[in-house]
């Protein structure tokens, strides 16, 4: 009877503990194709090189910046959008805060900071939290929608009164 209990306990422990050990700290399996994507997405933006981020997207990518109402369809338009972001904020930097991607859908939470050169033309620094909602197909992003509060940026660069 004790052997059965020990064996049953060992099997249950294995079923409960092994999946947790196999998963990454964010709770994503190493076999999950989206597990490394957030870091690559952040690194692509921070590279300031469209050729570093564009391979993360499908050819028919839909990319939307909700705060400014910018919509890009396809890699050529996303390239233009990426380069216009760098014109507006040449020292653009993103920091990964948290990411959660499962079954081809998820979020990438980030902190976006830099100096406003050509967005509002103030020359002032800002920092704003945001999130990208993504959908994936065959290991690449086919839909990317960015959300952040542009009023926060406008307050930090002096265009709106501080709260």
Kindly state whether residues 92 and 18 are assigned to the same domain.
Answer: no
- Averaged confidence pLDDT in the chain: 87
Residue 152 lies in a domain: yes
| Tokens linked to 133 | 């909602």
DSSP state for residue 23 in the 8-state scheme: B
Structure confidence at residue 25 (pLDDT) = 43
pLDDT tens digits along 22-65:
444 444 444 566 779 999 999 999 999 999 999 999 999 999 99
Kindly state whether residues 118 and 131 are assigned to the same domain.
Answer: yes
Predicted confidence band of residue 160 (pLDDT cuts 50, 70, 90): very high
In this structure, what CATH number is given to the domain that contains residue 95? Answer: 3.10.450.50
Kindly state whether residues 77 and 115 are assigned to the same domain.
Answer: yes
| Domain encompassing residue 1 | 1-29
Instruction: Look at the chain and report how many structural domains it folds into.
Output: 2
Structure confidence at residue 50 (pLDDT) = 98
Q: State the pTM of this model.
A: 0.80
pLDDT tens digits along 65-123:
999 999 999 999 999 999 999 999 999 999 999 999 999 999 999 999 999 999 999 99
Structure confidence at residue 5 (pLDDT) = 58
Nearest Cα to Cα of residue 119 among 146, 140, 90, 97:
90
Residue partners of 96: CB distance under 8 A and separation at least 6: 38, 39, 42, 108, 109, 110
Contact 20/13 with Cβ under 8 angstroms? no
Say yes or no to pLDDT of 13 above 80. Answer: no
């Amino acid at each position: 009877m004790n052997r059965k209990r020990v064996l049953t306990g060992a099997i249950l422990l294995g079923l409960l503990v092994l999946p947790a050990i196999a998963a990454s700290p964010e709770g994503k399996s190493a076999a999950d194709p989206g597990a490394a994507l957030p870091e690559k997405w952040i690194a692509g933006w921070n590279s300031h090189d469209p050729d570093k981020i564009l391979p993360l997207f499908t050819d028919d990518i839909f990319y939307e910046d909700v705060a400014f109402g910018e919509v890009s369809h396809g890699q050529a338009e996303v390239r233009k959008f990426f380069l216009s972001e760098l014109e507006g904020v040449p020292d653009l930097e993103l920091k990964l805060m948290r990411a959660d991607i499962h079954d081809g859908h998820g979020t990438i939470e980030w902190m976006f900071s830099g100096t406003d050169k050509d967005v509002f033309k103030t020359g002032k620094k800002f920092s704003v939290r945001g999130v990208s909602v993504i959908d994936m197909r065959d290991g690449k992003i086919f839909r990317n929608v960015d959300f952040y509060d542009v009023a926060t940026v406008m307050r930090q660069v002096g265009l709106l009164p501080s709260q």
